[in-house]
Amino acid sequence: MKKIKYLAFAIVIVLLSIYLYKSFIYYLIPFNPIKEYSSESDVDFHFSKNLPKGVGVNAKCQDAKTCGLVLEYLSGLELIPLKDKAAQEMLNYENATYFNGMLKFNESEMISISDISIDTPNVLRISSSIIGFKNGYYEIEDSTFDYNYIYDLIGDTKE
């Protein structure tokens, strides 16, 4: 009977630990999901600026060296995961200019960087169809997203 009590107590402690990690601790630990792809050499990058009236400006990386620099910048960001509700409260979608980007590896794996608003350039959404990828909103710690740097790197802008 004592073994069953100890087993039940252990199960409760494990379940409580998992709940605490998923609900609180996970959102305190810096994590950049792009960092594990920073050594990729075959990378394409598309970036678009969406204006409030539906007008967009698109840019695409033309050479491997530039795409590598973009990937280095993105993988070097200090990111902290955000709960979706907290991120939605921080973002302002009404009449906002926002940016979207897409990293494409080996023509099949893609990572989408979206919801980067000029009003809140320290919050972004990172998602991918890659199995095991940590999709979600992230806050840039100690800085903001430097979209001008990205556009200056790419240089080839099309309307």
CATH tag, 32-158: 3.30.1490
Query: What is the pLDDT confidence band of residue 50, given thresholds at 50, 70 and 90?
Result: confident
pTM given for the model: 0.84
pLDDT on residue 120: 80
Percent residues over pLDDT 90 in the chain? 37
Domain ranges in the chain are 1-30, 32-158
Q: Which two tokens stand for residue 157?
A: 């802008």
Partners of 48 in beta bridges: 58, 100
Long-range Cβ contact pairs of 62-68 (< 8 A, separation 24 or more): 62/154, 62/155, 62/156, 66/153, 66/154, 66/155, 67/43, 68/41, 68/43
Query: What is the pLDDT confidence band of residue 1, given thresholds at 50, 70 and 90?
Result: confident
| pLDDT tens readout for residues 12-44 | 999 999 999 999 999 999 999 999 888 887 888
Q: With contact defined as beta carbons under 8 Å apart, do 140 and 78 qualify?
A: yes
